Amino acid sequence: MSPDDLHAIQFLAELQRLADPNQPAGLRITVRNADGDYIGDAVLPTPGAQHATQAVSAAADFHDRNRDLFNTGTTIDGLDPRALADLEDHFAEVDPDSYLADVFGSADAEASLAAFEQLVTGEWDGGVL
């Protein structure tokens, strides 16, 4: 398996982390390698698709401003501090209450926070709030 195929599999795995079987599908993304061979697909709920779009937008903004650095293949461990600052600025605009509400499907911020705490401690049963 080529390194590029491994990157495609890793990308697919990260997309699949956004999947939520408790929410209706909003988007299906198919991943193929450079030769067009099917790697897999991920079904995302609308909030997952929105967050993935924001993340890709932040990366594209960094690419537009710093093409040379972006095209060096720098990994997150060696990410330029300016790029990290751009990503942090981008996600600083995300309201935690509305984000948790989107993720856990509840307009109640306290219930969403409680579900998040259960998730972090491994006690969340995945139930709808």
List pLDDT tens digits, range 1-26.
788 888 889 888 888 888 888 888 88
Residue 126 lies in a domain: no
Give residue 67's identity as a one-letter amino acid code. Answer: R
In-domain check, residue 55: yes
Specify the 3-state DSSP secondary structure of 18. Answer: coil
Domain that holds residue 15: 3-94
The answer to whether residue 50 sits within a structural domain is yes
Residue indicated by tokens 């937008």: 57
User: Above 80 in pLDDT, residue 122?
Assistant: no
What's the pTM?
A: 0.52
What is the per-residue pLDDT for 124? 66
Q: How many domains does the chain have?
A: 1
Q: To 10 degrees, the CA torsion angle through 17, 21, 24, 26?
A: 20
Q: Please compute the mean of the pLDDT values over residues 83-106 and round it to a whole number.
A: 72
Q: Is the pLDDT of residue 128 over 60?
A: no
Q: Is residue 102 part of a domain?
A: no
Whether the CA torsion 58, 94, 76, 81 is positive or negative: it is positive
